[in-house]
Amino acid sequence: MEQVLQQIETYKKEIDQWVIDSPENLETYRIRFLGTKGIVKGLFGEMKQIPVENKKAFGQVLNDFKQVAEAKYEQFKGLADAETAPSKGIDYTLPGNAFSLGTRHPLSLVRNRIISIYQRLGFSVAEGPEIEDDWHNFSALNMPENHPARDMQDTFYVHTNPDWVLRTHTSSVQARVMESTPLPIRIICPGRVYRNETVSARANCFFHQVEGLYVDENVSFADLKQTLYFFVKEMFGEGTKVRFRPSYFPFTEPSAEMDISCTVCGGKGCSLCKHTGWVEILGCGMVHPHLLENLGIDSKKHTGFAFGMGVERISQLKYVVNDLRLYAQNDLRFLQQFTSEV
């Protein structure tokens, strides 16, 4: 025991004299005195050999020694961290790393703007599934099986179930809402739709729509025109002119297509409007009575109007983007150009 106590005194002197001047040196110190095979551990191992009556006193001496060894380590550990920081390339005075903010996709910007304009007129947003059944996408909308009007929308069918399609328009959402919601109905249906088109600058196999529906008593074509006119003025500016051309859709009667004066040349004629001064932006009409009846609405008492527009098309006119494919290519050089709300 005497011997061990003397040894401890020697170690204490060694600790006292040990000059810690580098992280490596500190580590050597730690391993020698405090490591798992170090001196402190070793001395505690000696405990077994100490006679019972001396165990307590010896334990005391050992604990004191351990504290001395640890205190020196702790003291230099802090210093070493601070001193080595610059050599590790850390400069706490430098400004932090800025991370760049993303921007909204142009189609989201345009969609949000369309929604906010119609919301001000009292329309609320309705959404539905992208994989749709035949009834909601076609049959309920006055397009029974084998009706030639189905050819207007080249369709992707889900091959495991011929009753399922990738919806070709968001009119399917309108059908769902008419089926399940009490009147009056005033909704807009934004969403992605799919058509089996060859991908080119002017067409893609998916695109986005916002369709609108208003069904109530005494809804007239005049209401439709005024609603769309308000939209055009809000979206493209006060001076924009509109015109309606008679058209055909199976779900509306009468039907029309609406053009606006060209947003690029103001109507003088340019390549965007193919030198006509007008660009088409949407299809619309009065909801066909068959359709109301199909969906459980009394067509003698109620009328409605509907319209549908392509978000890509509106965005193209707003931003003059001439290749539709750019919207889906995720090229940052394109996407980073759209930084503010439209």
**Which stretches of the chain bind ligand PHE, using CB under 6 A?**
169, 171, 211, 249, 252, 283-285, 306-308
Q: Cα separations (Å) of 105 from 10, 152, 209, 315?
A: 73, 29, 15, 11
Q: Which two tokens stand for residue 75?
A: 């003291």
Q: Give whichever of 14 and 179 is closer to ligand PHE, judged by the CB atom.
A: 179
Q: Cα separations (Å) of 303 from 55, 216, 249, 294?
A: 100, 6, 17, 14
* Residue burial 35-56, b: 16+ Cβ < 10 Å; e: rest: eeeebbeebeeeeeebeeeeee
SS3 assignment, position 245: strand
> Residues 6 or more apart from 10 whose CB is under 8 A from it?
none
Q: What does the H/E/C string look like for 8-52?
A: HHHHHHHHHHCCCCCHHHHHHHHHHHHCCCCHHHHHHHHHHHCCH
Q: Which amino acid is at 115?
A: I
- Tokens 């308000």, residue? 230
Task: Output the CA torsion 125→129→133→137 (10° steps).
Answer: 40
Q: Give whichever of 125 and 270 is closer to ligand PHE, judged by the CB atom.
A: 125
CB of 125 to ligand PHE, least distance (A): 16
CB of 233 to ligand PHE, least distance (A): 21
CB of 309 to ligand PHE, least distance (A): 8
Q: Give whichever of 80 and 110 is closer to ligand PHE, judged by the CB atom.
A: 110
Q: Give whichever of 220 and 329 is closer to ligand PHE, judged by the CB atom.
A: 220
Query: Distance between CA 37 and CA 30 in Å, rounded?
Result: 11
CB of 332 to ligand PHE, least distance (A): 31
Beta strands in the chain (DSSP E): 124-125, 131-133, 164-166, 185-194, 206-216, 242-249, 252-261, 278-287, 303-310
CB of 184 to ligand PHE, least distance (A): 18
Q: Give whichever of 185 and 284 is closer to ligand PHE, judged by the CB atom.
A: 284
Q: Give whichever of 15 and 153 is closer to ligand PHE, judged by the CB atom.
A: 153
CB of 254 to ligand PHE, least distance (A): 11
Q: Give whichever of 106 and 283 is closer to ligand PHE, judged by the CB atom.
A: 283
CB of 284 to ligand PHE, least distance (A): 5
Q: Give me the residue whose beta carbon is nearest to ligand PHE.
A: 308
